Amino acid sequence: MAIHAEAVEILVRKGQFEPQVAIGIAEAIEVSMNGTQLVTVPILDARLQELKAELVRWVFLAMLGNVAISTGTAALLKSIAS
C-alpha cells in the first residue's frame, strides 16, 4: 500500500492530476501489475529444473568416463605386469 500512496503522491504533485484521478490511475496500474507475471517463480523453477537436469547429465557422463578410463588403465597395467 505504501507504493500505492507514493504513486498517488507523484501523480498529484508532479503530474498535477486531481486526487481522485491519481487514485484511479494508481489502482489501475496496481491491478495490472498484480495480474502479470514478469519473470516469476514458475518461470524460474522451470529454468532451474532444466539446469539441474543438464547438470545431472554431465555428472553422469563424467562418472562414466572416469570408470572407462580407470578400467582401461587397470587393464593396461595388468597386461604390462604380466
Is residue 42 located within the same domain as residue 81? yes
User: Would the pLDDT of 52 be above 60?
Assistant: yes
Higher-confidence position of 32 and 16: 16
Residue 2 is predicted with a pLDDT of: 62
Residue 54 is predicted with a pLDDT of: 93
Instruction: List the domain range (segments joined by +) for residue 8.
Output: 1-36
Query: What does pTM read for this prediction?
Result: 0.45
Segment 8-23 mean pLDDT: 90
Is residue 3 located within the same domain as residue 23? yes
Highest mean pLDDT among 8-12, 34-38, 39-43, 74-78: 74-78
Report how many domains make up the chain: 2
Give how far Cα 40 sits from Cα of 36, 37, 45, Å. 9, 6, 9
Please provide the distance, in angstroms rounded to a whole number, between the alpha carbons at the two ends of the chain. Answer: 81
Is residue 6 located within the same domain as residue 31? yes
Is residue 51 located within the same domain as residue 25? no
Q: At a CB cut-off of 8 Å and minimum separation 6, what does 17 contact?
A: 11, 25
